[in-house]
C-alpha cells in the first residue's frame, strides 16, 4: 500500500501535523509513505488578508503555477491544508485541480484551523470528489492537534488495500 501525504503549510502548523501522520502511519504494516510539500511559485506575504491571497482563495483554480503531479502510483492520497477565508489554502486548490491520475483514487481530506469547523474539511472533500477522487474520510483538526480516535481511523484506512 503506497500512501501519499500531500500538504501546504505557511506557518508550520499543517507541516507538524503531517509529520505526526507520517510517524503514525509508518507503524502500519505494509504501508509505504511518501510526503509531497505543495509549493506555490511565490509564497504569499503576511498578513493573509491581502488582495492576492483573497483572490486566489476565492478562485476555483487556486494559486496559478502550482506544479502538477501524477497520483497514479498511490493507493491512498491524504491532502492536508490550512484554512484561508474559510476555504482550503489556494496552493492546495491548485494542486487538486492540476493533479493527474486521481479518477477513483482513494483520498482523505484534512484541514487545520483555529476553529476546526467540520464544514472546512467537508469543502476540501467535496473538491476532491469533484475531481474524481473517492473520499474515504475527512477531518477538521484544530491547529494540527491529532486526536487519538483520528489516528486509529487513519491507521485503519491506510492499512486497507483494495
CB atoms within 10 A of CB 46: 10
- DSSP for residue 64: T
The predicted model gives 51-65 an average pLDDT of: 88
Q: Where do the structural domains in the chain lie, given as residue ranges?
A: 2-159
Rounded average pLDDT over 43-63? 83
Taking Cα atoms as reference points, which of 106, 109, 85 lies closest to residue 161? 106
Measure the CA–CA gap between 43 and 19, rounded to whole angstroms: 21
What does the pLDDT read at residue 47?
A: 67
Give pLDDT tens digits for 19-44.
999 998 888 888 999 999 999 998 88
User: In 3D, which of 27, 52, 28, 57 has the Cα closest to residue 42?
Assistant: 52
Predicted pLDDT of residue 32: 93
- Report, at the CATH architecture level, how domain 2-159 is classified: 3-Layer(aba) Sandwich (3.40)
C-alpha cell at 90: 489556494
Residue, of 130 and 148, whose pLDDT is higher? 130
What span, in angstroms and rounded, lies between the C-alpha atoms of 152 and 142?
17
Largest CA distance in the chain: 46
Amino acid at each position: 500500500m503506497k500512501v501519499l501525504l500531500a500538504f501546504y503549510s505557511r506557518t508550520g502548523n499543517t507541516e507538524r501535523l503531517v509529520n505526526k501522520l507520517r510517524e503514525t502511519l509508518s507503524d502500519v504494516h505494509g504501508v509505504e509513505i511518501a510526503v509531497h510539500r505543495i509549493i506555490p511559485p511565490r509564497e504569499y506575504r503576511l498578513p493573509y488578508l491581502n488582495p492576492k491571497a483573497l483572490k486566489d482563495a476565492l478562485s476555483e483554480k487556486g494559486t496559478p503555477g502550482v506544479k502538477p503531479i501524477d497520483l497514479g502510483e498511490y493507493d491512498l492520497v491524504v491532502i492536508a491544508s490550512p484554512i484561508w477565508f474559510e476555504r482550503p489554502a489556494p496552493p492546495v486548490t491548485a494542486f487538486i485541480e492540476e493533479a493527474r491520475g486521481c479518477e477513483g483514487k482513494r483520498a482523505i481530506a484534512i484541514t487545520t484551523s483555529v476553529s476546526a469547523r467540520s464544514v472546512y474539511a467537508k469543502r476540501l472533500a467535496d473538491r476532491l470528489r469533484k475531481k474524481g477522487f473517492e473520499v474515504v474520510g475527512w477531518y477538521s483538526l484544530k491547529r494540527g492537534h491529532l486526536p487519538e480516535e483520528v489516528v486509529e481511523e487513519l491507521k485503519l484506512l491506510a492499512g486497507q488495500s483494495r
